[in-house]
């Protein structure tokens, strides 16, 4: 079996990307990052998803991106917005996907892996620069000059199988592949038990996705008084 590394956040998208990679026959190594995110419960979710999918190996890489500040996802001084903003959201983490893919590339070199999966998608790339198709292509081109494997003629591929899909399409594909979305956490400010706020951008997109996909939303929401 060909090995692949799959970036796994604990959310709905990356759980689906993992299911797609496995359905294509890859033996999957999953990689999560502890990068100072507020919603550390997503790391618990990522582990749950990795275990349910019986991956070869799951790693959590500690990455103190929060020391640089600049994002509502890692900086306690900035509020998580409760409605969709125009332009780049304050939940954007500087150069996040560049850093995540770079570290995946380092692990890929050691494992002798030529395939990396990332769950970016059309909904993301309307707001986040590092979720656009042209970014993924440029990263792949760079990676193919960066490594020992590249020098030896092996070609590295960055797979972004969700990149053109809507949230509803992602959910439909994942449901067909048997992904258990109750294991995933998408909320930007989930509580310690992984219950979702229901009001942040990410919660709204997810809930709308289940409605559009006509699939029951298994999300566990924080009870409000």
- Which positions touch its own copies (CB under 8 A)? 59, 61-65, 67-70, 88, 92-99, 101-103, 105-110, 129-130, 132, 134-135, 138-139, 141-143, 145-148, 150-151
Residue 155 CB, nearest approach to its own copies (Å): 14
Within 10 angstroms of residue 139's Cβ, the number of other Cβ atoms is 22
Tokens of 145: 């000059």
Nearer to its own copies, 94 or 218 (CB): 94
Phi, psi of 133 (to 5 degrees): -55, -40
Question: What value, to the nearest 5°, has the Cα angle with vertex 136 and ends 132 and 141?
Answer: 145
* Beta carbon of residue 28, minimum distance to its own copies (angstroms, whole number): 17
CB of 128 vs its own copies, minimal distance in Å? 9
The residue behind tokens 């009870």 is 223
Nearer to its own copies, 60 or 222 (CB): 60
| Per-residue tokens: 85 | 């903003």
Q: Are 3 and 40 in contact (CB under 8 A)?
A: no
* Separation of alpha carbons 88 and 59, rounded Å: 30
Q: How far is the CB of 91 from its own copies (least distance, A)?
A: 12
CB of 167 to its own copies, least distance (A): 22
Residue 5: enclosing H or E segment and its boundaries? strand 3-7
CB nearer its own copies, residue 56 or residue 109: 109
Q: Which is nearer to its own copies, 133 or 178 (CB)?
A: 133
For residue 205, what are its two tokens? 């997109």
Report whether 149 contacts 8 (CB < 8 A): no
Residue 179 · residue 191 · CB < 8 Å:
no
> Considering beta carbons, is residue 122 or 150 the nearer one to its own copies?
150
Closest to 159 (Cα-Cα) out of 17, 13, 27: 17
- Looking at the Cβ atoms of 146 and 205, the one nearer to its own copies is 146
Residue 105 C-beta: closest distance to its own copies, Å: 4
């Amino acid at each position: 079996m060909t090995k692949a590394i799959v970036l796994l956040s604990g959310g709905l998208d990356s759980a689906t990307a993992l299911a797609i990679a496995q359905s294509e026959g890859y033996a999957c190594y999953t990689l999560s990052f502890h990068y100072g995110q507020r919603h550390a419960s997503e790391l618990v979710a990522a582990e749950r998803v990795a275990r349910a999918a019986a991956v070869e190996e799951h790693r959590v890489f500690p990455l103190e991106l929060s020391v640089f500040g600049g994002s509502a996802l890692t900086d306690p001084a900035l509020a998580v917005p409760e409605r969709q903003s125009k332009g780049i959201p304050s939940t954007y983490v500087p150069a996040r996907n560049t850093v995540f893919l770079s570290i995946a590339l380092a692990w890929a070199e050691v494992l002798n892996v030529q395939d990396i999966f990332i769950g970016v998608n059309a909904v993301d790339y309307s707001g986040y620069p590092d979720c656009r198709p042209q970014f993924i292509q440029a990263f792949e081109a760079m990676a193919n000059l960066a490594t020992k494997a590249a020098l030896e003629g092996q070609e590295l591929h960055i797979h972004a199988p969700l990149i053109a899909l809507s949230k509803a399409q992602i959910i439909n594909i994942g449901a067909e592949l048997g992904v258990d979305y109750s294991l995933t956490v998408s909320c930007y400010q989930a509580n310690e038990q992984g219950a979702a706020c229901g009001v942040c951008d990410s919660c709204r997109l997810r809930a709308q996705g289940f409605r559009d996909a006509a699939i029951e939303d298994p999300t566990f929401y924080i009870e409000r008084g």
